[in-house]
């Protein structure tokens, strides 16, 4: 069975190292690239060298989604190796127009989203500082370098046909790759041993936050239905028995959703209060991801009609039905 080589690349982010995957035969193909940093670049060069390769030997680089820890070195690979960059149609704009998107996202967080949560100043500033750090540590992928395929295309990796699948939730443009004959899954950040955070993205209208955890749960159902023997995740070790993991994550999400309901029932009415209750005494980086998760639990409760939301003085308040 043709299997990809896992390449672990360092990042400065709370999620820790990120995985790239290398198919060696019949042509060298790299899945994802790591962050834009010298440490990550040197780690990638060393991993390629272990197989007698350099960036110039790569035939293609396939990008799963537009988060900087996954596409950060794409432009350098194209410049230094003249490699063909590929991604799904739904991902392409996020790669080629990341600069514009990120600045608009910062403005959305600063002016609309964060004020609605009622966050304390320390957390508010931590998040904006994080966003500015990301803004200083990426490069757009040149449009002329990027080749796209359909969101449900079949692409060649390791001499086999892999099905492209769009599985939104962690982000709106997440794609994964499934090989049905050998039952292999390149899951990127859709399926990790630690439940992926449902990221709050820039909404299409620039104002109205879109629920992502309910979308992620629907994508979990899609992935659970696949016949899979081995999973190659975007972070962490390769694993098996994906259905057991999905069941565990679904159970935990529903349990935490119930905890959120009890929290609201007990007097926590803002996203900030709920996040503090669920992630008390955790580092700020964990609380930031916790904010996304807390909003996901809130979205599940709203979708099921168990709570209501209304705005007062620019802050969104959540209430259980009396």
Residue 23 near residue 34 (C-beta atoms within 8 A): no
pLDDT of 107 reads 94
For residue 12, what are its two tokens?
């400065």
What is the pLDDT averaged over residues 23-40?
95
Lowest mean pLDDT among 6-15, 189-198, 206-215: 6-15
For the segment 129-142, what is each residue's pLDDT rounded down to a tens digit?
988 888 877 889 99
Confidence check: pLDDT of 281 > 80 = no
Confidence check: pLDDT of 60 > 70 = yes
Ramachandran region, residue 29 (left: φ > 0; alpha: ψ -120 to 50; beta: rest): beta
Better-scored residue on pLDDT, 206 or 218: 218
Better-scored residue on pLDDT, 134 or 168: 168
Spatial distance between the Cα atoms of 13 and 30, rounded to a whole number of angstroms: 22
What is the pLDDT averaged over residues 214-219?
97
pLDDT of 322 reads 62
pLDDT of 321 reads 83
Spatial distance between the Cα atoms of 124 and 136, rounded to a whole number of angstroms: 19
Confidence check: pLDDT of 188 > 90 = yes
What is the pLDDT averaged over residues 105-128?
92
Q: According to the 3-state scheme, what is the secondary structure of 75-143?
A: HHHHHHHCCEEEEEHHHHHHHHCHHHHHHHHHHHHHHHHHHHHCCCHHHHHHHHHHHHHHHCCCCCCCH
Confidence check: pLDDT of 153 > 70 = yes
In the structure, what pLDDT confidence band is assigned to residue 286 with cuts at 50, 70 and 90?
A: confident
pLDDT of 199 reads 95
For the segment 68-109, what is each residue's pLDDT rounded down to a tens digit?
999 999 999 999 888 999 999 999 999 999 999 999 999 999
Nearest-CA neighbor of 167 among 241, 93, 88? 88
In the structure, what pLDDT confidence band is assigned to residue 315 with cuts at 50, 70 and 90?
A: very high
What is the pLDDT averaged over residues 186-208?
94
- % of residues, the chain, pLDDT over 70: 99
pLDDT of 71 reads 95
CA-atom Rg of the chain in angstroms:
20
Angle between helix axes 271-278 and 242-265 (nearest 10 degrees) is: 120
Lowest mean pLDDT among 12-16, 161-165, 256-260, 293-297: 12-16
Q: Which residues of 286-301 are buried (b: 16+ CB within 10 A; e: fewer)?
A: ebbbbbbbbbbbbbbb
Spatial distance between the Cα atoms of 322 and 314, rounded to a whole number of angstroms: 23
What is the pLDDT averaged over residues 169-195?
97
The mean of the pLDDT values for the chain is 94
pLDDT of 240 reads 97
pTM of structure: 0.95
What is the pLDDT averaged over residues 275-299?
89
């Amino acid at each position: 069975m043709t299997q990809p080589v896992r390449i672990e690349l360092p990042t400065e982010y709370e999620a820790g190292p990120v995985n790239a995957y290398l198919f060696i035969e019949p042509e060298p193909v790299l899945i994802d690239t790591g962050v834009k940093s010298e440490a990550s670049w040197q780690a990638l060069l060393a991993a390629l060298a272990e197989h007698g390769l350099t960036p110039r030997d790569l035939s293609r680089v396939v990008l799963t989604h537009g988060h900087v820890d996954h596409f950060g070195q794409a432009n350098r690979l194209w410049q230094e190796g003249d490699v063909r960059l590929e991604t799904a149609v739904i991902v392409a704009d996020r790669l080629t127009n990341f600069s514009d998107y990120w600045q608009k996202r910062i403005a959305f967080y600063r002016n609309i989203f964060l004020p609605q949560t009622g966050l304390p100043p320390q957390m508010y500033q931590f998040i904006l500082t994080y966003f500015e750090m990301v803004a200083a540590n990426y490069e757009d992928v040149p449009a002329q370098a990027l080749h796209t395929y359909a969101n449900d295309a079949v692409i060649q990796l390791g001499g086999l046909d892999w099905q492209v699948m769009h599985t939104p939730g962690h982000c709106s443009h997440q794609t994964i790759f499934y090989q049905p004959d050998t039952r292999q899954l390149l899951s990127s950040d859709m399926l990790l041993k630690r439940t992926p955070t449902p990221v709050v993205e820039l909404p299409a209208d620039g104002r109205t936050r879109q629920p992502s955890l309910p979308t992620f749960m629907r994508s979990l159902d899609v992935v659970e239905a696949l016949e899979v023997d081995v999973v190659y995740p975007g972070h962490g070790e390769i694993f098996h028995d994906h259905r057991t993991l999905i069941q565990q994550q679904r159970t935990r999400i529903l349990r935490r959703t119930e905890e959120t309901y009890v929290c609201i029932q007990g007097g926590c009415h803002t996203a900030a209060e709920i996040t503090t209750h669920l992630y008390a005494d955790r580092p700020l980086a964990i609380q930031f991801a916790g904010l996304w998760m807390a909003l996901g639990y809130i979205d599940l409760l709203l979708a099921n009609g168990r709570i209501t939301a209304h705005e007062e003085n620019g802050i969104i308040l959540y209430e259980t039905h009396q």
